[in-house]
Structure 1
Amino acid sequence: MTDHAHDLVSVQDATERLLSAVGKLDNASVTEQSRLPGWSRGHVLAHLARNADALANVFEGRPMYVSAEARDADIERDAPRPLDAQLADVRESAARFQRAAAAVADWTRTVALRGGVTDTASRVPFRRWIEVELHHVDLGIGYELEELPAQFAERETGFLAERFTGHPDVPPTRITDGTRAWRTGRAADVPEVTVTGGRADLLGWLAGRRDGSDLTVTGGPLPALPPL
């Protein structure tokens, strides 16, 4: 069962870890390439700030973004800023997100996200937690998938497996770290592929952060996953 109160605390903790790590950079480092193609670290930080505001909009019954074009333009506008401005924006937007969450009266209601996706309000804090943790890794400043909190990594693996469940381009797939197992892809109309690996490698593959070369695959080739 989703515990939004726990997830809001976890978001705050993850944000503080990110801010502490980014605070050790300098202005030149912010302009350097991140691990995301075409994005500098400044782009990643700008996205994190604008995503916090977008999810506050969701809590308050507004569209996440005015448009996809406006979202992209805001990130491009904010990406070149110096370190102090980036830190302040991430911190202040995170506080706005927390204030919007504190005002939510009905956590069971359905909310609208991007691209026609809907979810319950109670799952929005976890979605924000995902943004903070994975984009901290994307900054390429020493925080790796292996360092993600164990509870988060397990939940995110299940979340991503659920996301690809029923996808026509993903074959029936069993994913396991040797302790837990998840299923994803199309209904099992053919023998399923089994993908086995460590927690970080499985999550990295599902999240598009690793190529899956360190995973063991039986029953067929490693499935090609659609972009998130």
Structure 2
Amino acid sequence: MTDHVRDLEAVREATDRLLGAMGKSDDGAVAEPSLLPGWSRGHVLAHLSRNADALVNVLQGRPMYASSETRDADIERDAPRPLATQLDDVRESGAAFLAAATEPADWSRTVTLRNGVTDSASRLPFRRLVEVELHHVDLGVGYTLEDLPDEFVTRENDFLAERFAGHPSVAPTTAVAPDGRVWTTGGGEGAPVTVRGTAPEILGWLCGRRDGSALAVEGGTLPALPPL
């Protein structure tokens, strides 16, 4: 069962880590490229702030974003801001999300996210945690997939493996970590494939942050995954 209270504390801790890491940078670093193609670090920080606002909307029964165009325009507008402004925004918008998430609510209710995706309200804190942790990696400031908390890596691998399960373009795939953790995904045409590697390397492949070249593949070639 998802423990949203525990996840909210994890969000708080992850946000503090990100703010501490970026606080060692300067305005010039914000304009530099992130690890996400086409986005500067300023884009990543702006996205994190606006995502927190969007999740408050979801918690309070409003559309996540007014539109995809508005979402993109807001990120472009905010990306060039100075570092101090960016960090204040991440801090304040993140605090507003945590405050909204501590209001009495029916956490078993179904909520609607972007593009009509639905989920249990209880999973929103973990979704925010994913945003903060993976985008901390994307900032390219020394925090890598290997630095992510082990429990987070396992849960995100669980989520992504389930997301691609049964996908017609992904061959049946079993991913195995050295410690025995196993994730199964895919289910489309093609012979079954086994992928072996560390849990962070498997996560990098599943979330599109790494090309999978560090993984050992048995029974065929590494499946190309659809974009998230």
Q: Match for residue 86 of structure 2?
A: 86
Q: Match for residue 53 of structure 1?
A: 53
SS in 1 for 2:217: strand
Is contact 1:197-1:215 (8 Å) kept? yes
SS in 2 for 1:182: strand
Q: Match for residue 187 of structure 2?
A: 186
Greater displacement, 128-137 / 178-187: 178-187
Is contact 2:50-2:75 (8 Å) kept? yes
SS in 1 for 2:111: strand
SS in 2 for 1:175: strand
Deviations 1:113-134 (A, max 9, x none): 1111100000010000000000
Q: Match for residue 34 of structure 1?
A: 34
Tell me the distance in 2 between the aligned counterparts of 1:93 and 1:13. Answer: 15
Q: Match for residue 161 of structure 1?
A: 161
Q: Match for residue 13 of structure 1?
A: 13
Tell me the distance in 2 between the aligned counterparts of 1:33 and 1:108. Answer: 40
* Amino acid aligned to 2:224: A
Instruction: Give TM-score scaled by structure 2 length.
Output: 0.97
Is contact 2:191-2:220 (8 Å) kept? no
* Amino acid aligned to 2:183: W
Tell me the distance in 2 between the aligned counterparts of 1:70 and 1:190. Answer: 40
Runs of 4+ in 1 over 4 A off after TM superposition: none
Tell me the distance in 1 between the aligned counterparts of 2:80 and 2:208. Answer: 26
Tell me the distance in 2 between the aligned counterparts of 1:61 and 1:127. Answer: 17
* Amino acid aligned to 1:180: R
Cα distance, 1:91 vs. partner? 0.3
Is contact 1:171-1:186 (8 Å) kept? yes
* Amino acid aligned to 1:15: T
* Amino acid aligned to 1:216: A
Q: Match for residue 170 of structure 1?
A: 170
SS in 1 for 2:141: coil
Tell me the distance in 1 between the aligned counterparts of 2:168 and 2:96. Answer: 38
Structure 1 pair 7/165, CA: closer, same or farther in 2 (3 Å)?
A: same
Tell me the distance in 1 between the aligned counterparts of 2:218 and 2:31. Answer: 42
* Amino acid aligned to 2:202: L
Q: Match for residue 118 of structure 1?
A: 118
Cα distance, 1:190 vs. partner? 5.5
Aligned length: 227
Tell me the distance in 2 between the aligned counterparts of 1:104 and 1:127. Answer: 19
Deviations 1:152-188 (A, max 9, x none): 011111111011111111111111103111111126x
* Amino acid aligned to 1:199: A
Greater displacement, 157-166 / 68-77: 157-166
Q: Which runs of 5+ in 1 are unaligned?
A: none
Tell me the distance in 2 between the aligned counterparts of 1:161 and 1:186. Answer: 11
Cα distance, 1:88 vs. partner? 0.5
Percent of pairs identical after alignment?
A: 66
* Amino acid aligned to 2:187: R
